[in-house]
Structure 1
Amino acid sequence: MKDESAIKTIQVTAIRRRIRILKAEMDRGTNLSRNRVIQIEGEISELRQKLKALNKTHRPKPKHKSLGNCINPKCRKRIMVGQSVVKYGHLGLCCDFKCLVGAMNGS
């Protein structure tokens, strides 16, 4: 794992150095041909894309947090954080009003 990180760091450093060299060539080269300027700009954009791809890290997806299950015995759907719910006093949560009516009637 450390070897991969070290290789990645070396690659990023090399790309940044190459971009810096190309920018310096464009700045000091007043008599560059139009084709050479286009070539340098294309190479810089390609290097920036590579740099962007190397800097992306793998981030695990955030796990959905659950508040619990619906109190209706026939429903029992899992209720996630951020989901709209109906509170049934201090007893618990229902997924919607129709389900709450069913839980209150015991059906």
Structure 2
Amino acid sequence: MKDESAIKTLQVTAIRRRIRVLKAEMDRGTNLNRNHVIQIEGKISELRQNLKDLNKTHRPKPNRKSLGNCINPKCRKRMLVGQAVVKYGHLGLCCNFKCLVGAMNGS
């Protein structure tokens, strides 16, 4: 894990250095033709996009399946497969009996 972090840091540093060099080249070169300026701007924007992609953290999605939400409008908790729930006829599921009583009373 530390190796991946170190590699990512080195990549970010290299990209930033390359962007800095390209900007300096654009500022220094007063007699650059238009095509060369467009190429440099394209490289800079591509490097910035790569930098954004490297800085994004990877968050894997949870693979837990859901049965649905609680029928109590005040609760609306998400109920997962394997969780103990209370079934209320054809109306749906509630997360616990106390919540079901609250839903039936309308509170």
Q: TM-score, normalised by structure 1?
A: 0.63
Q: Is the 8 A contact 2:15 2:51 kept in 1?
A: yes
Tell me the SS of whatever aligns to 2:88: coil
Tell me the SS of whatever aligns to 1:93: helix
Tell me the SS of whatever aligns to 1:77: strand
Give the CA deviation at 1:93.
3.1
Q: Is the 8 A contact 2:94 2:100 kept in 1?
A: no
Give the CA deviation at 1:76.
5.2
CA spacing shift, 1:9–1:67, aligned 2, 3 Å: closer
Q: Is 1:14–2:14 an aligned residue pair?
A: yes
Q: CA RMSD in A?
A: 3.4
Letter in 2 for 1:39: Q
Q: Is the 8 A contact 1:70 1:92 kept in 2?
A: no
Q: Distance in 1 between matches of 2:100 and 2:7?
A: 56
Give the CA deviation at 1:92.
3.8
Identity, % of aligned pairs?
64
Q: Distance in 2 between matches of 1:40 and 1:78?
A: 60
Q: TM-score, normalised by structure 2?
A: 0.63
Considering only CA atoms, is the larger Rg found in Structure 1 or Structure 2?
1
Unaligned runs of 5+ in 2: 67-75
What's the counterpart of residue 84 of structure 1? none
CA spacing shift, 1:20–1:78, aligned 2, 3 Å: farther
Unaligned runs of 5+ in 1: 80-87, 95-99, 102-107
Match of 1:93 among 86, 89, 102: 102
What's the counterpart of residue 93 of structure 2? 77
The aligned length equals: 87
